[in-house]
Amino acid sequence: MDHIALRLTNCFQTVFPNLPEGEIAAASQSNVAAWDSVAAITLVNVIEEEFGIEMDLDRLADLDSFSRIQEYLTREMQLS
């Protein structure tokens, strides 16, 4: 697991404490019941705190799975 994935996993564990660690990499809004609109905003803010970035809330709908967020973060970190 790369460094970004590891830190993102920690964020998911913070926001979704009942999600087993083994299921985090495959987590998406469609298979995690607790991933509602409030959790989505909380997740974004926790990721912002963890990575020291400002995420685009307008793109919240696109960031609907662990893998998509990981891709987004990888791009953002490369740009910075």
Partner 1 sequence: MKLTEALKILQQAPENASPFLVSLACGYTPLHVATFLGAHLQQRLADRRATVSTGVYGDVPGTLAGLKDAATHCVAAALEWADLDPRLGYREAGNWGIKALPGIISGAVAQLDRIAAAIEEIRLEIPVAVCLPSLPLPPIFHTAGWQAAEAQLALNRKVAEFAFRIGRRCSLVNSARLAEDSPPAARYDLKSDLLTGLPYTLPHAAAVASALSRLLAPLPPKKGLITDLDDTLWRGVAGEIGPENVSWDLASHSQLHGLYQKLLAALAEEGVLIGAASKNDPAVVERVFEREDLLLRPDRIFPLEIHWGAKSGSIERILRTWNISADDVVFVDDSAMELAEAANAHPGIECILFPANDYAGAYALLRRLRDLFGKPRVSEEDAIRLESIRQSAPFQAAYGEATSETFLEEAEAVVTFDFPAGDDPRALELVNKTNQFNLNGIRYGEADWKNRRTRPGAFLAIVSYRDKFGPLGKIAVLDGRQENDNLFIDTWVMSCRAFSRRIEHRCLEAMFERSAVQEMFFDFQPTPKNGPLQDFLASVSGRRPDAPFRLSRALFEEKRPRLYHRVTESPTSSNPWITSRSA
14 or 67: CB nearest partner 1: 14
DSSP-assigned beta bridge partners for residue 28:
65
Residues that bind partner 1 (CB under 8 A): 11, 14-15, 17, 38, 41-42, 45-46, 49-50, 57-58, 60
49 or 71: CB nearest partner 1: 49
* Least Å from the CB of residue 42 to partner 1: 7
Helix 37-51, helix 66-79: angle, nearest 10: 30
How far lies 77's CA from each of 11, 24, 71, in Å?
Answer: 16, 21, 10
